[in-house]
């Protein structure tokens, strides 16, 4: 079975004004520079793994350890400075609350735009429109600009659109923490349906019960490096041990 995702020696660095410098470098066709520069830090470094179709992978680690950055590399939002990221198949990313929607466009227009960008035809969008709206519970706000939506409404619409797409890889980053309990349960059922249908899923969540509900495999990121690639329970255990050691060291220092 051919992996749907293959990362080899993956690394990406950030620095002040990185975005502008990066765009200029890419437009000029200059090769990436891998030497360490002043004010630079590596968000990810030397990360290697592969994922088979249908796997549900939980990304484990504290804040600022590279989990969201890795999802953005898989989605193609960011490009690596080192190594390679090979993704076979389309990606449905729900990485941020806004889901890539345009604030000044209405909910109706955002549904059409986002679904169209991901390859759905006008006919397919029309066929799924009512399902998207019903799941998101935004029927009374279809002609309201997205920027006027509450955080919960943004999550509902973003999740509904992204999980209605046909992309084989789904990325979910902490967004379910914003929704209310009843909507989270709807999302959980939708995610279970996606996995039973053979989708590949990456999930970032600080809610251990969410990770255990969906994921059997875990990638533990620590300081931008892949500290462990194994079962989810092994990843959670290693992370918990590291957290406990840090607390002990802080306590010892007084």
Number of domains in the chain: 1
Domain assignment present for residue 146? The answer is yes
Give domain status of residue 103, yes or no: yes
Residue 14 lies in a domain: no
The answer to the question of residue 115 being in a domain is yes
Task: For residue 143, give Cα distances in angstroms to 100, 105, 136, 147.
Answer: 18, 9, 14, 12
Residue 135 inside a domain? The answer is yes
Rounded-to-integer distance, Cα 235 and Cα 237, Å: 5
b/e per residue 14-49 (b: at least 16 CB within 10 A): eeeeeeeebeeeeeeeeeeeeeeeeeeebbbbebeb
- Per-residue model confidence as pLDDT tens for the chain (254 residues): 899 999 999 999 997 555 434 544 454 454 555 455 567 889 999 999 999 999 999 999 999 999 999 999 999 999 999 999 999 999 998 887 566 789 999 999 999 999 998 889 999 999 999 999 999 999 999 999 999 999 889 888 988 998 999 999 999 987 766 667 888 888 899 999 999 999 999 999 988 999 999 999 999 999 999 999 999 999 999 999 999 998 888 888 86
- Domain range holding 140? 92-167
CB count, 10 Å around CB of 145? 15
Structure tokens at 20: 């502008």
106 within some domain: yes
């Amino acid at each position: 079975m051919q992996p749907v995702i293959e990362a080899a020696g993956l690394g990406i660095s950030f620095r002040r004004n990185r975005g502008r410098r990066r765009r200029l470098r890419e437009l000029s066709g200059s090769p990436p520079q891998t030497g360490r520069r002043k004010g630079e830090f590596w968000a990810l470094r030397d990360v290697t793994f592969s994922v088979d179709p249908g796997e549900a992978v939980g990304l484990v680690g504290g804040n600022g350890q590279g989990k969201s950055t890795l999802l953005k590399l898989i989605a193609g939002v960011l490009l690596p400075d080192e190594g390679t990221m090979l993704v076979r198949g389309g990606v449905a990313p729900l990485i941020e609350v806004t889901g890539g929607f345009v604030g000044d466009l209405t909910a109706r227009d955002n549904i059409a735009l986002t679904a169209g960008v991901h390859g759905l035809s006008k006919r397919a969008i029309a066929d799924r429109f009512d399902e998207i709206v019903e799941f998101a519970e935004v029927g009374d706000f279809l002609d309201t600009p997205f920027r006027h939506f509450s955080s919960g409404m943004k999550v509902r619409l973003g999740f509904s659109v992204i999980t209605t797409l046909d992309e084989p890889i789904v990325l979910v980053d902490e967004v379910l923490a914003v929704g209310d309990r009843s909507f989270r349960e709807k999302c959980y059922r939708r995610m279970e349906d996606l996995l039973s249908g053979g989708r590949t899923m990456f999930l970032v969540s600080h809610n251990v019960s969410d990770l255990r509900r969906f994921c059997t495999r875990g990638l533990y990121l620590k300081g931008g490096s892949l500290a462990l690639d194994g079962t989810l329970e092994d990843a959670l255990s290693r992370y918990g041990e590291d957290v406990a050691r840090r607390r002990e060291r802080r306590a010892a220092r007084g």
